[in-house]
Amino acid sequence: MLRKNTLYIKINALILVAVFLFSDLAHAAPWEGKAPYAPSDIASHPTLFEVPLDHAVLKEVHQGSKDVFIIHIQDAHANLSGQQNLAHTLDAIMSRYHVSLVLSEGGSQDCSLTAVKKIAPAEVWQRLAKSYLMQGKITGEEYLNLVSDHPMKIVGIEDLGLYLKSVQNYAELTERRERTLNYLKTVRYGISKLKRKFYPPELLERTRQLVAP
């Protein structure tokens, strides 16, 4: 019985090693060179699209009613590693599929930075863009626009009026934050008193267990 268990463990260990090895080889495969499918083919069959797995994860694919292919990239705003991954992902996609249009949040109309690149040499922009990215002053697509040779066009997709209204609403909410938190604290204290008064001991203990960290 012991020998059978030992053999079983060895077989499982070999399978795990093979799985991890295959995974490492898959991730090590270069995501370079000519794309196997043209953008027009991918627009008709979006499941053909390949993702640079070193910097992004493909979560969903949907077939639309028109031959337009839209890549929706979710990124962590004002997060350095998130914006670096965004820049790397866009760089890989643009190199492979020769796309140039980036639709961006938080802006309207043409937000491209290509024109300002003429002000200073490329090596200067390499340093400045990295510094601005680390400080959260620019986004991943803006960083790529400044340091790469891709013919990028960044277009903001916000309705400026609605965007400014949402910023105003957030500012008003921030001003009321302290008052709102104090109100919620008072409500929680009142509910706690009512629970101690009306709840049977068993239910009261159960509720304590549910809210315990």
At 213, the pLDDT band (50, 70, 90 cuts) reads low
State the residue range of the domain holding 89.
Answer: 36-160
Any domain includes 168: no
- Name the average pLDDT for the chain: 82
Domains of the chain: total: 3
Do 54 and 134 sit in the same domain of this protein? yes
Helix-strand-coil percent breakdown of the chain, rounded to 5? 60, 5, 35
pLDDT (tens digit, 9 = 90+) per residue, 94-134? 999 888 999 998 888 999 999 999 999 999 999 999 999 99
Do 130 and 42 sit in the same domain of this protein? yes
Residue 34's pLDDT is 63
Among 99, 97, 73, 72, smallest CA distance to 86 is for 73
Q: Quick check: pTM over 0.85?
A: no
